[in-house]
Amino acid sequence: MRTRRTKKRNPRNQWADHYTRRAKKEAFPARSVYKLQEIQKRFRVIRKGGRVLDLGCAPGSWTRYAAELTGPGGKVIGIDLKKVGIALPAHVHLLQGDILAPDAAIAEVLAPGFDAVISDMAPATTGHRDVDAARSLNLCEAALTIARAHLKPGGHFVCKIFQGPDAQGFIDRVRNAFTNQRIYKPQSSRKASREIFIIGQGKKQEA
Ligand SMILES: C[S@@+](CC[C@H](N)C(=O)[O-])C[C@H]1O[C@@H](n2cnc3c(N)ncnc32)[C@H](O)[C@@H]1O
């Protein structure tokens, strides 16, 4: 008699499936939204009526959530190499381009006056830890430069970084530019993933 083998599911897949299913149900294009939700619950980085700059915004989950938080009285500007395919409210403005080589359209929206700069930018991964960490750091440095130049004094910064040998230097630079600096690993971020989030609260006047 043939016995039917029940396939044991990998707990890591079950975890991913849980957040993916939830994102689908709640009409978010990616489960990464739950990381920003956890960050927001804890650090209150986005306020109603605020101006938010979302770097690396595709496929659009953070942008949609940020737009819900600001409401129509605020503004969310999203920039990514890739096109965002979802419908977003009128107070969202999307631009396609490279943060590392901003074109004229990006340069135009990068004016001072943001309340929050949030970056979930990630390089295309190679599988080589140090290479991926170095590329992630490069994106983080670009995001920090933008945050220092374009956040209002008192504004907040959220930045994803892949942990690597040079991450500490970046964390120190965030600490210098903000009144409070925190390192945060959301529950919805895979434990095995080397990503962490650096939160800078309250940009210093002279940063
Ligand atoms: C993890 S995804 C962001 C997910 C997004 N926060 C969401 O919730 O939908 C990382 C994004 O960073 C973008 N990215 C990577 N390098 C970039 C660059 N130099 N300029 C702009 N975007 C970049 C990628 O195209 C990718 O869409």
| C-beta 56 within 6 A of ligand 1 | yes
| pLDDT value for 27 | 93
In angstroms, rounded to a whole number, what is the distance separating the alpha carbons of residues 129 and 144?
22
Q: Which residues are catalytic?
A: 160
Residue with the larger pLDDT of the pair 15 and 59: 59
Q: How far is the CA of 55 from the centre of ligand 1 (A)?
A: 7
| C-beta 120 within 6 A of ligand 1 | yes
Residue 169 predicted with pLDDT over 80: yes
Q: How far is the CA of 50 from the centre of ligand 1 (A)?
A: 22
| pLDDT value for 108 | 94
| Percentage of the residues of the chain whose pLDDT score is greater than 90 | 87
**CA trace torsion 52, 54, 55, 57 (10° rounding):** -170
| C-beta 98 within 6 A of ligand 1 | yes
What's the whole-number mean pLDDT along residues 135-148? Answer: 98
In angstroms, rounded to a whole number, what is the distance separating the alpha carbons of residues 132 and 125?
6
| pLDDT value for 15 | 73
Distance of CA 206 to the CA centre of its chain: 25
Residues 16-69 have pLDDT tens digits of 788 999 999 999 999 999 999 999 999 999 999 999 999 999 999 999 999 999
Q: How far is the CA of 207 from the centre of ligand 1 (A)?
A: 25
Residues 65-111 have pLDDT tens digits of 999 999 999 999 999 999 999 999 999 999 999 999 999 999 999 98
What's the whole-number mean pLDDT along residues 187-204? Answer: 95
Three-state secondary structure string covering 140-198 = HHHHHHHHHHHEEEEEEEEEEEECCCCHHHHHHHHHHHEEEEEEECCCCCCCCCCEEEE
Q: For the chain, which domains are there?
A: 32-203 (3.40.50.150)
| pLDDT value for 6 | 53
State phi, psi for 111 to the nearest 5 degrees. Answer: -110, 155
Pair of tokens at residue 55? 């770097």
State phi, psi for 33 to the nearest 5 degrees. Answer: -55, -35
What's the whole-number mean pLDDT along residues 3-22? Answer: 71
| pLDDT value for 11 | 65
